[in-house]
């Protein structure tokens, strides 16, 4: 009797028609704007095919590229567990923040990633949060993106009203910047974390160099696009994906070019923190 019941259950399972909700076998990557609307192991786009093949070889299991109409549809599929990896834009990611995380984001150019930067103000000024920097005159040490546009964007992402900023003061280096800050020529010295370390760490443990300033902000700009996985992906698999993708521009440039076309640009991929696509959260 039990054996017969078991056979019936097996038969029923075999007869159950495949539905749109049944995820196909393999490692599934959701991408908006693919030529194919279903999951495929043979995308028509040559660069997409190169990426799929590269990843399949490295992961040692079948890889499918799954096309969707837009980023929101990709996000929905990831939420439903239909995908293992998704290329998302920031607005589509936001609703998934509790169940998913970005692992990689595009790097604009060789010198410019999502730079970790700080805004320093005088303790006596009371400007100790991004919001309180409204109306400030910022001081920058370079017009290069890594020292200017990227930190400025980061500040805005953390709630600073950068549009209210007075015209910026540009100085030669961080030492000159601190001097200008102390002289009242500006209200916030905005520099990379590396420059802050050069400025404030000093060479003698007994000397405190930046005792009169406070970090009103420290952070990276929000990633506008990224490669996203569910939080329940095993850690070792997540790092394997990171390790494969950060070298993609060197090992398979055409595959990187394909991803860049779906990520709104980028010359390479950098790892990200879990909160990289959440505005104002470090």
Partner 1 sequence: MKAGNIVGVKQVRISTWLKSLCFVLCLTGLSACGSDQPDAELTGWQKEVGQLRIGATSGEDSPTTLARWTAYQKYLNRITSLKVEVFQAADYNGVIQAMASGQLELAQMGGAAYANAREQMGEKVAPFLALRSAEGSSGYYSALIVKADSPYRTIEDLRGKSLGYVDFNSTSGYLFPRWAMRQQGKDPDTFFGKTAMSGGHTQSVLALANGQFDAIFLIASGGTPETGFTTGSLYTLARKGAVKISDYRIIWTAGPMPNSPYVIRTDRPQAFQDVTRGAMAALAYEDPQLWVDIGLQEGSDMQPMTAADYQAVVDMRRAEIAERRAAPAQKSSPRSAKP
Binding site for partner 1 (CB under 8 A): 58, 60, 103, 110-113, 115-117, 144, 146-147, 173-174, 192-198, 201-206, 235-236, 238-244, 246-247, 250, 268, 270-274, 276
Give the bridge partners for 122, in sequence order. 213
**8 A C-beta contact, residue 26 and residue 41:** yes
Structure tokens that stand for 128 in this block: 């100790």
Which of 280, 242, 282, 274 minimizes the C-alpha distance to 96?
A: 274
Nearer residue to partner 1 within complex by CB, 34 or 277 = 277
**8 A C-beta contact, residue 52 and residue 28:** no
Smallest distance, partner 1 to C-beta of residue 206, A? 8
Smallest distance, partner 1 to C-beta of residue 272, A? 6
Nearer residue to partner 1 within complex by CB, 76 or 116 = 116
Nearer residue to partner 1 within complex by CB, 103 or 169 = 103
Smallest distance, partner 1 to C-beta of residue 56, A? 12
Nearer residue to partner 1 within complex by CB, 2 or 204 = 204
What region does 85 belong to: left with phi over 0, alpha with psi -120 to 50, or beta? Answer: beta
Nearer residue to partner 1 within complex by CB, 77 or 118 = 118
Which of 248, 194, 186 minimizes the C-alpha distance to 220?
A: 194
Q: Give the whole-angstrom CA distance, residue 87 versus residue 238.
A: 15
**In b/e form, how buried is each residue of 89-123, taking b as 16+ CB within 10 angstroms?**
bbebbeebeeebbbbbbbbbeeeebbbbbbbbbbe
Which of 54, 110, 118 minimizes the C-alpha distance to 259?
A: 54
Smallest distance, partner 1 to C-beta of residue 152, A? 15
Q: How far, CA to CA in Å, does 74 sit from each of 65, 153, 222?
A: 11, 27, 20
Nearer residue to partner 1 within complex by CB, 187 or 273 = 273
Smallest distance, partner 1 to C-beta of residue 149, A? 13
Smallest distance, partner 1 to C-beta of residue 225, A? 16
Smallest distance, partner 1 to C-beta of residue 229, A? 12
Radius of gyration (C-alpha) of the chain in whole angstroms = 24
Nearer residue to partner 1 within complex by CB, 230 or 238 = 238
Only one residue has tokens 């990896």, namely 85
């Amino acid at each position: 009797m039990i054996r017969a019941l078991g056979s019936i259950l097996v038969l029923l399972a075999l007869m159950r028609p495949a539905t749109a909700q049944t995820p196909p076998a393999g490692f599934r990557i959701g991408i908006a704007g693919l030529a194919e609307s279903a999951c495929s192991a043979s995308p028509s786009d040559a660069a997409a095919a190169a990426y799929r093949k590269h990843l399949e070889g490295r992961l040692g299991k079948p890889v499918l590229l799954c096309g969707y109409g837009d980023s929101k549809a990709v996000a929905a599929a990831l939420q439903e567990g239909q995908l293992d990896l998704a290329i998302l834009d920031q607005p589509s990611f936001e609703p998934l923040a509790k169940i998913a995380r970005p692992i990689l984001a595009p790097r604009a150019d060789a010198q410019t990633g999502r730079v970790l930067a700080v805004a320093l103000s005088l303790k006596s000024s009371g400007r100790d949060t991004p919001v309180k920097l409204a109306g400030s005159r910022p001081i920058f040490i370079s017009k290069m993106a890594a020292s200017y546009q990227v930190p400025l964007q980061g500040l805005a992402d953390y709630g600073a009203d950068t549009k209210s900023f007075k015209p910026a003061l540009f100085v030669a280096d961080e030492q000159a910047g601190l001097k200008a800050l102390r002289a009242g020529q500006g209200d916030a010295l905005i520099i990379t974390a590396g420059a802050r370390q050069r400025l404030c760490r000093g060479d003698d443990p007994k000397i405190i160099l930046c005792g009169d300033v406070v970090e009103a902000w420290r952070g990276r700009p929000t990633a506008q696009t990224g490669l996203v996985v569910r939080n329940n992906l095993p850690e070792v698999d997540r790092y394997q994906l990171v390790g494969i993708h950060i070298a993609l521009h060197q090992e398979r440039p055409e595959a990187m070019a394909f991803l860049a076309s779906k990520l709104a640009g980028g010359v390479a991929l950098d790892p990200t923190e879990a909160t990289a696509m959440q505005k104002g959260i470090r």
